[in-house]
Amino acid sequence: MNIKDDNILQNLKDADCPKELIEEFFRMKEAGLNNQLVQLLYTQKTRLLESLHESQKKVDCLDYLIFQISQNPS
């Protein structure tokens, strides 16, 4: 892997990866388990996307209320 460990660490932190995932990532990297590294990152990506979708639903609820109130001012 040509990416420097410092850059990888910063990227994982920027992606809000938990400490345990970061530690597991570097253990796998040291062992040369590139396929497992990719799977680990995809799993974290899925978690983040699920969180994003949950937040989007909340925003949609607020947008609906804003629309309803705007259409029916008292």
Cα→Cα distances 65→29, 52, 54, 57, Å:
48, 20, 17, 13
Maximal C-alpha separation, the chain: 66
Give the mean pLDDT of 4-19.
Answer: 96
The pLDDT value given to residue 1: 54
18-31 tens-digit pLDDT = 999 999 999 999 99
Q: Where are the alpha helices (DSSP H) in the chain?
A: 5-14, 19-31, 34-71
List the chain domain ranges.
Answer: 5-71
- Mean pLDDT, range 7-18, rounded to an integer: 96
pLDDT of residue 73: 75
- pLDDT by residue (tens digit) across 36-73? 999 999 999 999 999 999 999 999 999 999 999 999 87
CA atoms within 13 A of residue 55's CA, in its CB half-sphere: 6
